[in-house]
Homo-oligomer: A and B are copies of this chain.
Amino acid sequence: MIARTPEPPYYAVIFTSLRSETELDYAATAERMLELARDQPGFLGVESARGSDGLGITVSYWASEEAIRAWRVQAEHREAQRRGREEWYRAFRTRVAYVGRDYGKS
């Protein structure tokens, strides 16, 4: 559940969202996007949580900016992003970040 990322550096895409009321195709698409992401070159892992107040945070980790770009323009993912913006999310922010260091307990 905590992503087993390699030693930094690597990249993170922090996606924070508030859902709309629209459920149509949302859960199935979210699951399908996870499946697709895992098959993308440079995918390192993902962490996701949605709290009882409705705020969702999904952080995906990537080996390079090129890998992030390739995922962003993947055809099926593009269509999901379009529907996300128009149907499933009331508000969201996507932040692309360079992870320089990490530490923890496992």
Of B3, B57, B105, which is within 8 A of A59 by CB?
Answer: B57
Count identical subunits in the complex: 2
Are A93's CB and B2's CB within 8 A?
yes
A22 close to B (CB within 8 Å)? no
* B residues near A106, Cβ cutoff 8 Å: 91, 93
Show the binding face of A for B, using Cβ within 8 Å: 1-3, 5, 8, 12, 14, 16-18, 47-51, 53-57, 59, 85, 89, 91-106
Beyond the given pairs A12-B14, A96-B100, A98-B100, 11 more chain A to chain B contacts, judged by CB atoms under 8 angstroms and listed by A's residue number, are A1-B55, A2-B16, A2-B17, A59-B59, A85-B105, A89-B105, A91-B104, A91-B105, A92-B104, A93-B103, A94-B103
